Structure 1
């Protein structure tokens, strides 16, 4: 197969329309940069305008008794350490290779670029994977007090790692702009190792371990970032897809108290999800335990902790991939556990139990197209109805789904890629499925690469621009520095929203979003790269879907 009213400052952006792919550096050379952490010296690599320190562990290896357990902070560092290469990626859930020819018209070059964003990593896989990578301006010192950007990778909580993107691209751009920042990327546990469901996991306090890894990494940053030239009071967390969902989740845990771990949030193609309860996926836990060979034992968690890694990995791989027929009906994913999430995220948001910091929410217009490709064999409304009930809305009635499919009709001209008429209709239901997969208002659209056949402005395509670098990079860097994507002029002057959408020097100003004006910035292809429009695209559908997800959540 192929592939509540919040007291926060929110900017919305839509993307209608090459990421920097990383290679490990294996030699230091003369004058290699060093950093002192506790009683240790870490030696990194000088890379032009940046210094790079890779693979620094932030937690004790989650193996043995620490497998399927909460992360434990690393012991104080001592000795000499080589930080020239990435550490291992966390174990990935296997993605079956595509079978048969690609769909007709699919832009394979562009498709491979998108897949590279997730899968291109030379790092080996190991359970001992909880490490961070740091890119800092070459002139930075412990007294620089630079703003800090923390990158949380995506990959459907199944794949991905911190070695897939080159943070140096963004840091170099920040230096050239005169707005230098420090960037950190982190690994966190994935699939069953990071998001094990079931009563046994809940009783042991093991829900959402991957999120707890991220939280510990943020605490590590508070403790050590000064040594790299960063300011622990000026941290922005940023993620894409599953990483963006993680950003919103870090804003909802702990009663909405961020513990001073970050002051801003930047979210690409992901937000609060309608996740299910950890107990609702007991069958997944039971199947995983049985596949590992731990059924019938008196303590299945203890058995899982001591099972050979190969059995754990094989059991993970036996579950559906996010690029398979079930797509985002993920077996191992964040769930309400009564601990990391005291209540369902949708309820925490409605009660205002969310961190009060400036937020940017960003997305692509045709988010859903990659997730519709594995479903080309769905050809009728009846088949789509059955698919939605079986994999996504298990508690919805037939009438509920009939209403949904009325709002999203069997009309290719109203499907995704949007505004392409009857083009790109790979199957009778493809564009309809892709439209439903776009989901709620949190998933906005970038309109660059809009003319890409079949996919349009697809999920994660915006990262190709951010790691370009392009104007998207500049908006991100502005936000990290000033908590305003327009830069210092608006952050200092506090320009009223009623003023023109043109900023200083005639540059299009990204307006702060409010429920009256509903203004958002749109990235476009062509000679007019930016525009400000009202966020009313497909308003009927997105309002309906937002309400639908509040009533019907994932397993």
Structure 2
């Protein structure tokens, strides 16, 4: 996929690809490659120096009485399975960039915006199925025991698929071979939007919740059982995600109150940390909206009724609920919430209670996290409208005196807003940069800082700030730009391989602690070198936002 910044150094090295193959095990570099899982022959796809095994079901189709339920593992495999193409993506919620925003961008939306935010569902017809995908060096076999990098896609918990990031898997596996630190890449599909994150009293009474996160969990269990066959080491699994995928990775660390698990051993989070969400009752309004749209409101068992609604009718109803390009923006209708089981409490409260896994982590952000999501509120053009937007959408329970500090912490002067450090440029409306600064901090920067401060002293942690693509008009170093530019690729591979992002040469990436909160900065210019800074920007505003989020979770 084209990207805004060219990712260099992705040619393939045949010598590295074959250096770790074991002559004692069966060579998987056949054409096409194949493996045996249980009693089934799984046939994949050869792509030169790496092989792909795609669309392998890891759970029963969540249809009928399994819709909105926790995933159920598939029975042992039998017969033959064609794993040469990605399986169908899970049902997607429709999104459309507002016309005013398209005009503001002069109809030149960057490729990564199209890929991540808009066109994900057009690549393949959605289907209610759950599958897993493996990309591995061609000659990796059961004796190779390579580290495993597990990708969790983003998309605001409303959209996305493993298929949409096929280029990323190819890129990382190729680069890992070039570095002489080969890894096995795994990506799963998980349920999104209402299919994965339906929340209400009725759902909780049915004993369900956070089905999308549970899909991810079952995929991680599948990896433990089967990844050795593909050359991976189940004792060296790193989970990695961006945006909703990064939030997911952080929440997997908090699952069941942070109970220790052997499912993964490190986590990398690009633009996502435990977010300020409340309990299941906050999803009731959207559940009720689905009931009205599907004629289930009068049913004696509304949960059962929604399970039985046709897929087409449910899709129409879901598409009518807010999405991340609606006015509500990042106050998501469908997202993880405290269900009392998988997430026993508000994720940030779990952090305060020390209920998280102790594993090495990387957690970082781009400089202008909020710009993309503020394109949907360009009708907010005055100070009064900004105050109304924040008070009614973000913290409807807060009183005037509680919110008074926010207006000065996030002033309407465009030079103080996001894209940061661009003076008055990119002010497509009088309040756009202000809104972008607020949204980027409350959803991304503040949770990351609170997350890392909570982990400090308990485990190794590293953090970063990316200013890549700062020259992008209107958006600056927008949400997803670090992924598009591949600025973290080498560090991700090293971390997966050694549980540290450094390589002993060049600029040292220091660990992050509460007493020494150091950031590894990726600069805006291609020829500029990374540098170290203190994570103290907007310190008081973010401390205020953290306290506000704890008092008024979404």
Partner of residue 520, structure 1: 519
Q: 1:84 is matched with which residue? A: 84
Distance 1:108 1:519, change over 3 A: farther
SS at match of 1:445: strand
Moved more, 273-282 or 169-178: 273-282
Distance 1:101 1:446 in 2: 24
| Residues 329 and 392, structure 1, Cα contact 8 Å, conserved in 2 | yes
* Equivalent residue runs for 1:432-511 within 5 Å: 432-439=434-441, 440-441=445-446, 442=448, 445-466=465-486, 471-487=487-503, 489=504, 504=505, 507-511=506-510
| SS of residue in 1 equivalent to 2:305 | helix
- Match of residue 294 from structure 1: 296
8 Å Cα contact 2:98-2:376 kept in structure 1: no
Tell me which residue corresponds to 1:143: 143
| Contact 1:426-1:454 at 8 Å conserved across structures | yes
The answer to which of 317-326 and 209-218 deviates more is 317-326
Aligned to 1:374: 376
Structure 1 residue 400 displacement after superposition: 1.9
Query: Separation in 2 of the partners of 1:530 and 1:121?
Result: 36
Equivalences, count: 509
Partner of 2:328: 326
SS at match of 1:508: coil
Unaligned stretches of 5+ in structure 1?
1-16, 21-28, 490-503
1:355 and 2:375 equivalent?
no
Spell out the pairing of 1:268-279 with structure 2 (5 A cutoff). 268-279=270-281
Which residue does the alignment assign to 2:225? 223
Contact preservation (8 Å) 2:120, 2:161: no
Deviation at 1:101, TM superposition (A): 7.2
Distance (Å, rounded) in 2 between the aligned partners of 1:102 and 1:123: 22
What are structure 2's unaligned runs of at least 5 residues?
9-28, 450-463
Note closer, same or farther for the CA distance 1:372–1:274 as it changes in structure 2 (3 Å cut).
same
Using the alignment, how far apart are the partners of 1:19 and 1:76 within structure 2? 41
Native 8 Å contact 1:120 1:164 kept in 2: yes
Q: Which residue of structure 1 lines up, in the alignment, with residue 426 of structure 2?
A: 424
TM-score (normalised: structure 1):
0.88
- The whole-number CA distance in structure 1 between the counterparts of 2:507 and 2:106 is 31
Does 1:543 find its partner at 2:543? Answer: yes
Checking the alignment, whether the CA contact within 8 Å between 2:289 and 2:321 is kept in structure 1 is no
Deviation string, structure 1 residues 462-492 (Cα, Å, up to 9, x no partner): 11122xxxx52100000000110003x4xxx
2:116 and 2:293 map into 1 onto residues whose CA distance is: 31
Partner of 1:497 in structure 2? none
Q: Assess, with a 3 A threshold, how the Cα gap between structure 1 residues 222 and 18 changes in structure 2: closer, same or farther.
A: farther
Question: 1:157 maps to which residue?
Answer: 157
> 1:40–1:79: 8 Å Cα contact kept in structure 2?
yes
CA–CA separation in structure 1 for the residues paired with 2:478 and 2:540: 21
- The alpha-carbon deviation at position 389 of structure 1 amounts to 1.9
* 1:49 and 1:175 in contact (8 A); partners too: no
CA displacement 1:338-387 (0-9 Å, x = unmatched): 11111111111001100000010021001011111111111112111111
Cα deviations across residues 197-256 of structure 1 (Å, max 9, x unaligned)?
110001112211111111101001000000100000100001110111101110001221
Partner deviation per Cα, 1:42-97 (whole Å, 9 max, x = no partner): 11111122100110010001011111111000110011111111101110001135
Aligned-partner Cα distance in 1 for 2:179–2:162: 25
Q: Is the 8 A contact 1:86 1:123 kept in 2?
A: no
Q: Write the distance in 1 (CA, Å) between the matches of 2:529 and 2:303.
A: 53
Alpha-carbon distance in structure 2 between the residues aligned to 1:317 and 1:19: 35
SS of the equivalent of 1:149 reads strand
**DSSP 3-state at the match of 1:184:** strand
- Distance change in 2, residues 1:101/1:176 (3 Å): closer
Residues 437-467 of structure 1: per-residue CA shift (max 9 Å, x gap):
112431763111112111110111111122x
User: How do residues 217-256 of structure 1 correspond to structure 2 at under 5 angstroms?
Assistant: 217-256=219-258
Q: Secondary structure at the match of 2:214?
A: helix
Quote how far apart the aligned CAs of 1:142 are. 0.6
User: CA, structure 1 residues 337+521, in 2 after alignment: closer, same or farther (shift >3 Å)?
Assistant: same
Hey, what's the Cα distance between the residues in 2 that align with 1:185 and 1:38?
Answer: 21
CA separation in 2, counterparts of 1:107 and 1:172? Answer: 36
Residue 85 of structure 2: SS of its match in structure 1? coil
Q: Is the 8 A contact 1:19 1:463 kept in 2?
A: no
Structure 1 moving runs of 4+ over 4 Å: 17-20, 107-110, 120-123
How far is 1:121 from its partner? 5.9
Secondary structure class of the residue paired with 2:423: coil
Q: Secondary structure at the match of 2:148?
A: strand
Partner Cα separation in structure 2 for residue 455 and residue 256 of structure 1:
36
CA distance in 2, matches of 1:530, 1:522: 5
**1:19, CA displacement in angstroms?**
8.3
Q: 1:107 & 1:400 partners in 2: Cα distance?
A: 39
Aligned-pair Cα RMSD in Å? 2.0
Distance 2:534 2:30 in 1: 54
Q: 1:101 to 1:222 in 2, by over 3 A?
A: closer
Q: 1: CA distance between counterparts of 2:207 and 2:126?
A: 23
Asked whether the 8 Å contact 2:198–2:283 carries over to 1, the reply is no
Structure 1 residue 283 displacement after superposition: 2.0
For 2:348 and 2:68, locate their aligned partners in 1 and report how far apart those are by CA, in whole Å. 27
